[in-house]
Amino acid sequence: MQTSYDHDNIFAKILREEIPCIKIFEDEHTLAFMDVMPQTSGHSLVIPKEPVSTLYELSDEAALACIKTVKRVGKAVQQAMNINGSTVFQHNGKDAGQTVPHFHIHILPGSLFGIKGHAAEFADPDELKITAEKIIACL
């Protein structure tokens, strides 16, 4: 089911640089940055620059670009957080728990046990910047 894209969602504003983010990686098709409401330290997001809400609307080119970025950033997150595992997931639509209507993939280092709830509380921006610097150094 095609949804109408909300060009005023927070990720669209980040892509237009109307709202800042703590950037980890960017290329022609994707942007990776720190989740400001992390479920665990190192929680990162990968988004396409294509304006779509769900995986089912994403072009094949953007999907491939997102997976390539997830692989690259995910490896760096694991290395930076000194952990040998991660969880990668995404939600499709509000009924599935998607809180921002722009397709995005979550990268969480480590186990899902003991993590905070999704979008539960904001992190300290200075701590996010320190973690981002560690991840960037591993790219």
Distance, C-alpha 12 to centroid of its chain: 13
Contact 76, 5 (CB under 8 A): no
Identify the sign of the CA torsion 36, 130, 88, 121.
negative
Catalytic residue among 29, 43, 91, 104: 104
Q: In sequence order, which residues have a C-beta less than 8 Å from that of residue 112 and are 6 or more positions away?
A: 87
Distance, C-alpha 97 to centroid of its chain: 15
| DSSP secondary structure of 105-132 | EEEEES-STTPPPTT-SPPPHHHHHHHH
Clarify whether 104 is annotated catalytic: yes
Distance (Å, whole) CA 15 – CA 126? 21
Cite the active site residues.
104
